Amino acid sequence: MADASPTVRQRQLGMRLRQLRTGLGLNVEDVAEKLMCSAAKISRLETGARRPILRDIRDLCGIYQVDEATAAELMTLTREAREQGWWTRYEDLNLTPYIGLEQDASSITHYSMCYVPALLQTEEYARAIIKSVLPRIDPQVHQQRIEARLRRQSRLAGDNPPRYRVLLDEAVLRRPLGHPALMTAQLEKILKLADVGRVTVQVLPLETGACVTADSMFVFLEFSGHTLPPVVYVEGLVSDHYYERDADIARYREAVEYLRDAALSPRDSVQFMTAVHKDYVSK
């Protein structure tokens, strides 16, 4: 994980700090008093929600009485967590934590009943869906979002891509977005990526009925090679949510299993999408 994203390093650092604190039997209020800061600051450092400051981590190393080697390791993690990922140049994205996690996830499961996931979108589909969600978006910001979305897709084309599974509601395929040629090209891209093994798609037919989750979209991210727990990302119109508690992860893992069982098999899903593609071609 020498090339882990700053977001992942930030979460790794937070977990180490929490382990050190609990190992000494201290609560966040105890540490906050010693560091002369708020308990919320300590909590946010431990959850990876706050960008670490070298001085604070140095002082925490003293409070936790760690040895020199451990202190040096924590300071290195802090420096790496403070580096800038490529996505931070797009100030309007407001997805910095998520993209950082996406860049290092070993397994990504994406459920959507509204639109094609970003990692599978064509440029024209991305342009249209962003505009439909934000009709008044500034043209320059619009273009930046498209560029960032397409750049994210390189994650699937690299030497070590994640295991990527998409659970897609049939409505996503049937709902026209722009002209039929746009949807034709979009389906062709999904089918090509599925054919080369970059994504496994399972379609949930409308006849399946009500789904187990009230969320219209969520992403279940898992990590390997280190001790980071899974994260569930839920996108909202006003704000996004990240779930990491064991109980929440278990609930979403159960939802993923239910959705997989309710959906068509990957092979049948390809046949289904091929038929939908033919429908668009004929229009």
87-281 in CATH: which number?
A: 3.30.870
- Banded model confidence at residue 227, pLDDT cuts 50, 70, 90: low
CATH fold label, 6-83: 434 Repressor (Amino-terminal Domain) (1.10.260)
pLDDT at position 1: 43
pLDDT of 61 strictly over 50? yes
Cα distance between the two ends of the chain:
49
228-265 pLDDT per residue, tens: 789 999 987 777 788 888 999 999 999 999 999 999 99
pTM above 0.75, yes or no: yes
Phi, psi dihedral angles at 208 (to 5 degrees): -65, -30
Spatial distance between the Cα atoms of 97 and 236, rounded to a whole number of angstroms: 15
Spatial distance between the Cα atoms of 119 and 19, rounded to a whole number of angstroms: 35
The identity of residue 69, as a single letter, is: A
% of the chain exceeding 90 in pLDDT: 57
Local structure of residue 14 (DSSP, 8 states): H
Query: Mind giving me the DSSP string for 82-102?
Result: TSPPGGGG-TT---HHHHHHH
182-193 pLDDT per residue, tens: 999 999 999 999
Which residues neighbour 38 within 8 Å (Cβ) at sequence distance 6 or greater?
Answer: 32
pLDDT at position 2: 44
Q: What is the mean pLDDT of residues 211-220?
A: 80
Rounded to the nearest integer, the mean pLDDT of the chain is: 88
Q: Where are the domains of the chain?
A: 6-83, 87-281
Scanning the structure block, which residue is given the tokens 């140049």?
89
Q: Which run of H or E residues covers position 150?
A: helix 139-152
- How many angstroms separate the Cα of 42 from the Cα of each of 25, 51, 70, 80? 15, 11, 19, 19
